[in-house]
Amino acid sequence: MADVEAAPGDTPVETENAPVAAAAEPLSSEIIAGCLSNLSRTSNGLSVAYTKLDCRSKSIADIDLLRNFHHLKFVDLSDNAIKNIAPLGPLDNLLTMEVKNNQVKAVPIDLDARKYLQRADLSSNKIESFDVKSWPLCHYLNLNDNQLEQLRLPDFPQLYHLEARNNKLNNTGGIGAPLLQKLYLAGNQIDTIVGLESLTKLEFMHLRGNKISRLDGFSANNVALTGLNLRGNLVSDPNELDKLTVLPALTKLTLSETPLAENSHYRLEVAMRLKNLTMLDKIEFTPDEREEAVQYKEQLEAEKAEAAAALKAAQEEEERLKLEEAEAAKAAAEAEALAAAAPAEAPTEGGEPVEGGEAPTAGEEPPAE
């Protein structure tokens, strides 16, 4: 395989069979001309203008020239090398914005309040900050495969589909989308579930591959949530399942690849605690499993009652032994006190004082010899 001759200090570059990427360049008038379509009347009806721009895979790095194309409604700039999308700010008529697979690091405030924008795909970029506060008509937003550490979407009143998979999120908060139905947050670093109280229309939540061990955070307000995917998380305690009983519509749950799923009575534990579930890990519960879950619950309750009775008996026995020990100690102390209070008597031998015994008191006659 031949190498290109390299300058001193450079690494030789193989040319045979090596893919050659076109050098990134600014968006030019020539490129734009080949990307425009959909000639339509302008909003005031006085002229016509192109409303669609499809510039996918054009090795574009700079889109500053687009600031002047105010009539564009559909823009697709996917698969380029774009870093800055602020030039799209003046495009007030945007309906869809596709900028996936670029090098965008921020969604700036310049793009705030796009009053007609309905769909935005910004996936597979390097986005660290999303500064837009409101897209009032946006119903689909894709932020997959970026670098976001938190979501800040305070005012997205029409959003019903949100994806932010494979970012760096550590919680589920920051979503101001009261009509949201589908939420995909797999592949993050989420360990805390928060901010779901206002998501009363949420139907499906995908949290696969995070760091969730506790199931706090779900709300009785999530009355429409029917499907929840927790595959590949850290849930291990069966008692955590009880926290999902606040979800009246939950019928499908995925918990495979969790420590809990390794429990020998895994499916019975779930069926016993979540009676409305019809499917676990994409497998429906059978009538036999339901019946077995009832029996399993009765067995656990009997074992629990037996354990409680045994514990009570052990505690009572421990108290009895302590009481006996206390009484014995008290009796010993009293005996010792009585012994200490009794007068001492001189020892005698054959009825006579032993040599060195106690001397007679004054006024007494010494014993006869």
The string of pLDDT tens digits covering residues 115-155 is 999 999 999 999 999 999 999 999 999 999 999 999 999 99
Q: Indicate the average pLDDT of the chain.
A: 87
Closest CA to 165 of 134, 121, 201: 121
Query: In which region does residue 336 sit, left (phi positive, over 0), alpha (psi from -120 to 50) or beta (all else)?
Result: alpha
**Contact criterion met (CB below 8 Å) for 50 and 37:** yes
Q: Token pair for residue 11?
A: 């690494």
Give residue 345's pLDDT.
Answer: 58
What tokens appear for 301 in the block? 């309750």
> What is the CATH number for 94?
3.80.10.10
Domain assignment present for residue 220? The answer is: yes
Report phi then psi at 321, rounded to 5: -65, -40
Q: How confident is the model at residue 42 (pLDDT cuts 50, 70, 90)?
A: confident
Give pTM, 2 decimals: 0.78
Per residue in 148-179, pLDDT (tens digit) is: 999 999 999 999 999 999 999 999 999 999 99
The residues with which 120 forms a beta bridge, in sequence order, are 97, 141
Main-chain dihedrals φ then ψ at residue 98, nearest 5 degrees = -115, 115
**The pLDDT of residue 161:** 99
* Residue 249: its H or E element: none
Total Cβ atoms within 10 A of residue 154: 12
Residue 107 gets which letter from DSSP? E
Task: Give the pLDDT band of residue 3 (cuts 50, 70, 90).
Answer: very low
User: What would the two tokens of residue 269 be?
Assistant: 């534990």
Are 98 and 76 within 8 A, CB to CB? Answer: yes
How many C-beta neighbours within 10 Å does residue 184 have? 19
> Is residue 177 domain-resident?
yes
| Distance of alpha carbon 112 from alpha carbon 107, whole angstroms | 9
* Domain assignment of residue 342, yes or no: no
% the chain with pLDDT above 70: 86
- Identify the pLDDT of residue 353: 53
Distance of alpha carbon 66 from alpha carbon 63, whole angstroms: 6
Residue 349, CB-side half-sphere exposure with 13 Å CA sphere: 5
What does the alpha-carbon distance between residue 203 and residue 224 come to, in Å, rounded to a whole number?
5
Q: Give the C-alpha distances (Å, rounded to integers) separating 330 from 219, 318, 321, 363.
A: 59, 18, 14, 44
Residue pLDDT, tens place only, 11-32: 333 334 433 345 678 889 999 9
pLDDT score, position 350: 55
Residue 81 counted as domain residue: yes
Output the six-digit token pair for 138: 């946006």
What is the C-alpha to C-alpha distance for residues 42 and 46, in angstroms, rounded to an integer? 7
| 28 within some domain | no
Q: Does 30 reside within a domain? A: no
Task: Give the C-alpha separation, 330 to 326, whole Å.
Answer: 6
Residue 132 lies in a domain: yes
Instruction: Report how far residue 265's alpha carbon sits from residue 289's, in angstroms, rounded to the nearest whole number.
Output: 11
Higher-scoring residue by pLDDT: 307, 118: 118
Residue 311 lies in a domain: no
CA distance 108 to 299: 59
Query: How many Å apart are CA 206 and CA 95, to the nearest integer?
Result: 27
| Strand-strand pairing, 279-280 and 283-284 | antiparallel
| Residue 236 structural domain | 45-297
Count: domains in the chain: 1
